[in-house]
Amino acid sequence: MKKYRYPILILAVSSMLVYCKTNKQTSQQTASSAATTVAKEEKPAPNAGKSPFIPASETIGKMVIEDGFEVKLVAAEPLVSAPVAMQFDDKARMWVVEMVGYMPDTIGTGEDIPNGNVVILDDKNKDGVYDDRKVVIDSLVLPRAICLIDNGILVAEPTNLWFYELKNDQVVKKTLVDPKYTEGGNVEHQPNGLLRAMDNWIYNAKSDKRYRRVGGKWVIEHTHFRGQWGICQDNYGRLYYNNNSQNLLGDYFPAGLGAWNKNQRGVAGYNEKSVANNKVYPLHPTPGVNRGYMKNVLDDSLRLNEFTAAAAPVIYRGDLFGKNYDFNAFVPEPSANLIKRDFLNEKGYVVKGDIAYKGKEFLASTDERFRPVSLYNAPDGSMFVLDMYRGIIQHKTYLTPYLKDQIGKRDLTQPLSAGRIYKIVPKGTNPKPVTIPDGAQELVKLLGHPNGWVRDRAQQKLIDGKYNQTVPALREAIKQTADPLLAIHALWTLEGLNSLKPEEALSWIRQSAWTFRAQGLYASTAVITPGSYQQFATAFDGIVDSGDTLAAPYIAFLAKSIEKFDQNASRGLLNKLAAKYPNNRYVSDAIISNLQDQEEVFQSAISASVSDQNALINKQLTRVVTAIRNAQGNRNPEMLKKEFPKGEALFTSVCQTCHGADGGGVKSLAPPLNQSEWVTGNKDKLISIVLFGLTGPVKVNGHVYQTPEVSGDMPGIGYDKDMPNEDIAQLLSFIRRSWRNNADKVTTEEVTKVRTKLTGREKAFTEAELNGI
């Protein structure tokens, strides 16, 4: 175990140690409000100068934060390096994932070296500054997420998800949970997060899987595909996430419902734009973004206009910031060196919001190496910020010559071993962390603590420790309504202890307050059994008759649980809902989520009660039925994989995450490739797009795709000089022959010809340019 005090050492990549003299005061240096912090804005210039490495003791002086708040440095190199994810334990220690191997240079030399770690940082003298480091797991290749659970820790190390059993912070056993945790994708597009949510399941970003440990065995279930980097929840267990160009996305409905119909492309109420406004306000010119040369990426002062690298968000759930922050989201933008604040509002089950300010941010820095990548609620009620602190943030797969040139000219490559962790607190406060006790009754009381992190951790500890002796107290907690958050956590703790009773869930769904009804409806899935399903079917039928519009989508989803025991009762609920809410998109999609391969039969069955073919339920059903018929003409993917092995591998690792495995496109990311004239048409146009990318609106089969329906830019892969022309030819041949596409192959010679012709090109194509080819 190593202890770090004075002086703080800044470790350069050459392994030379540069000493930065400091003391306790500088290590606790703060950035106060914009009214008192002097942060000089750089003047716009055609070519920004070098971006110097700022010592940890000085970097806060480059920040401007909202009035009334300050930033405190709690850890820095060499105590921590390249932090990308973390969790607090019961003692308020930080378990930190260090992705040391990420992009050592502009071509990613040595990314496969096993130099990643999971470390514990501790504040031994309890002064608010972490001073002790212990390596728990080392020799990892690009680790990306962790989750403390039971007697160990889940660790995501592509392609695997591991569970390490621990004793006294040392590994005693290693178990493979999922060998395909990351199937395909590159570092920027692989699953991550491992959020242990209120419903006791573990969810991920950039993934459609969820995990749970039941009876010592790991269960993996399919769920909705969500997000890109980072995932969080609000006080009611709703999930939030984003992608690199979207501020904040989220789920209106419980995470575990509605992902059952493989024929359905998206379900209303999931992957919704919680905040559609993507505008950002950097403090300084930011030419060092990947497509900074393109029109409208930067404004006239060379500052980023909109999110281009939105990272792991957090819904603030602490008890320190005040009432005005009760339902706020914070989203980091590392490429613009800032953290955005969003207001959120709830109306029924719909959550929508907007950016908190125009013309400024909650926190912004003039230090270009300030790279906030993940935000967290903390045991002391503050918000913690993980800063990779480095020059290169863009992965090599999509690195343009423009950005590579910026990195070289401005010495942004080194050093690479830095990393900072900050916490944000109200100005002048010195909050102390809540530590989680072992006492059963104390843990139950903490389920009602005003800090959401404390409530979550108390729930998890009660479940992990199998505190069955608390069941009577938990039953009492769910009966009271004065403290809804205590009741909700008690409900899900009972569920996690396998002690929730059907009559308790039924009692909740009869509550007048929607807060309780919503939780009771979702919790019902755990207690609908052969002995109770009739009671629930009757209750659900009564809710539909009552005209409870808020509960209607839930009842449609819950029909799936009834179907296991009584198909007629389940179908009766769906028929009644379709007739009562034929134009409600949430109800319609919830109904269809139950109907895999029965969509046409169901549409025929409701033809009398919903005769209007323009009713939304009929339109949605027709869309799904048409997609099914079209898919029947798809080519055999296994044969194509054998014919174009390199092309299939490239598609899976680079293209699939945005365009979908079925080539149908992904909401908020990219348009379809299946039956796209851009794919099956002129080869030179297609080769040009894949080599150098496409920007701006694009028309596919008569529909114009543009932001925010899809990302405004598709990156090219031709910037990578090491990408073989043969592999690109196979990729293009693979997509031209996949699904219902039936175009001729692309040869290596054809790719070589176009690539040679476009030598020196540094920008993406527009549709207008391509139409000139």
pLDDT value at position 39?
A: 37
3-state secondary structure of 6: coil
For 245-285, how does the pLDDT look when each residue is reduced to its tens digit (9 = 90+)?
999 999 999 999 999 999 998 999 999 999 999 999 999 99
Q: What is the radius of gyration, based on Cα positions, of the chain?
A: 26
For 127-174, how does the pLDDT look when each residue is reduced to its tens digit (9 = 90+)?
999 999 999 999 999 999 999 999 999 999 999 999 999 999 999 999
Work out the number of other CB atoms within 10 angstroms of the CB of residue 279: 13
Collect contacts of 150-155 with beta carbons under 8 A, ≥24 apart. Answer: 150/213, 150/464, 151/464, 153/95, 153/118, 154/194, 154/202, 154/211, 155/97, 155/118
CA 219 to chain centre: 21
pLDDT value at position 23?
A: 35
Q: Tell whether the model's pLDDT for residue 184 goes beyond 80.
A: no
Question: 452: which 2 tokens?
Answer: 């959401």
Does the bond joining 472 to the residue before it have cis omega, within 30 degrees of 0?
Answer: no
- Residue 272: closest CA among 207, 353, 338, 179: 353
Work out the number of other CB atoms within 10 angstroms of the CB of residue 735: 27
Does the bond joining 182 to the residue before it have cis omega, within 30 degrees of 0?
Answer: no
3-state secondary structure of 30: strand
Rounded Cα distance, 522 and 520, in Å: 5
Question: 440: which 2 tokens?
Answer: 């059963």
For 194-217, how does the pLDDT look when each residue is reduced to its tens digit (9 = 90+)?
999 999 999 999 999 999 999 999
For 284-308, how does the pLDDT look when each residue is reduced to its tens digit (9 = 90+)?
998 878 777 777 889 999 999 999 9
**% of the chain exceeding 70 in pLDDT:** 91
Question: 693: which 2 tokens?
Answer: 């990318």
Work out the number of other CB atoms within 10 angstroms of the CB of residue 216: 6
Rounded Cα distance, 508 and 456, in Å: 21
Question: Are the CB atoms for 756 and 728 separated by under 8 Å?
Answer: no
DSSP string, 631-681: HTT---HHHHHHHSHHHHHHIIIIIHHHH-TTSS-BTTTB---TT-HHHHS
CA 413 to chain centre: 27
Instruction: Could you list the beta-strand ranges (E) of 271-402.
Output: 272-275, 314-315, 328-333, 338-347, 350-355, 363-365, 372-377, 383-387
Collect contacts of 11-20 with beta carbons under 8 A, ≥24 apart. Answer: 11/77, 11/78, 11/81, 11/415, 11/417, 11/418, 12/414, 12/415, 12/417, 13/104, 13/414, 13/415, 13/416, 13/417, 14/414, 20/55, 20/56, 20/57
For 516-566, how does the pLDDT look when each residue is reduced to its tens digit (9 = 90+)?
999 999 999 999 999 999 999 999 999 999 999 999 999 999 999 999 999
Rounded Cα distance, 456 and 148, in Å: 12
| Confidence bin at 45 (pLDDT 50/70/90) | very low
pLDDT value at position 16?
A: 26
| Confidence bin at 105 (pLDDT 50/70/90) | low
Classify the C-alpha dihedral 224-512-353-289 as positive or negative: negative
Q: Tell whether the model's pLDDT for residue 15 goes beyond 80.
A: no
Question: Are the CB atoms for 97 and 85 separated by under 8 Å?
Answer: yes
Q: Tell whether the model's pLDDT for residue 10 goes beyond 80.
A: no
Please list, in sequence order, all residues whose beta carbon lies within 8 angstroms of the beta carbon of residue 476, skipping any fewer than 6 positions away: none
Question: Are the CB atoms for 646 and 727 separated by under 8 Å?
Answer: yes
Q: Which residue has the tokens 């022959």?
A: 737
Residue 83 pairs with which residues in a beta bridge? Answer: 98
Question: 153: which 2 tokens?
Answer: 């820790």
Helices 484-496, 502-509: crossing angle, 10 deg rounding:
150
Question: Are the CB atoms for 695 and 765 separated by under 8 Å?
Answer: yes
- Residue 196: closest CA among 422, 424, 464: 464
Q: Specify the higher pLDDT residue, 291 or 506.
A: 506
Rounded Cα distance, 425 and 72, in Å: 8
CA distances from 664 to 262, 638, 658, 659, 671 (A): 13, 18, 10, 6, 7
Question: Are the CB atoms for 399 and 405 separated by under 8 Å?
Answer: no
Question: Are the CB atoms for 285 and 302 separated by under 8 Å?
Answer: yes
pLDDT value at position 27?
A: 40
* Average predicted confidence (pLDDT) for the chain: 89
Instruction: Could you list the beta-strand ranges (E) of 276-356.
Output: 314-315, 328-333, 338-347, 350-355
The mean pLDDT value for 418-446 works out to 97
pLDDT value at position 295?
A: 79
pLDDT value at position 661?
A: 85
pLDDT value at position 345?
A: 97
Question: Are the CB atoms for 339 and 332 separated by under 8 Å?
Answer: yes
pLDDT value at position 657?
A: 78
Burial 491-501 (b: 16+ CB within 10 A, else e): bbbbbbbeebe
Rounded Cα distance, 684 and 14, in Å: 45
Rounded Cα distance, 674 and 355, in Å: 36
Angle, vertex CA 665, rays to CA 273 and CA 373, nearest 5: 50
Rounded Cα distance, 129 and 49, in Å: 33
The mean pLDDT value for 642-665 works out to 87
For 361, list phi and psi in degrees, rounded to 5. -125, 165
| Confidence bin at 106 (pLDDT 50/70/90) | low
| HSE, side-chain direction, 13 A CA sphere, residue 546 | 15
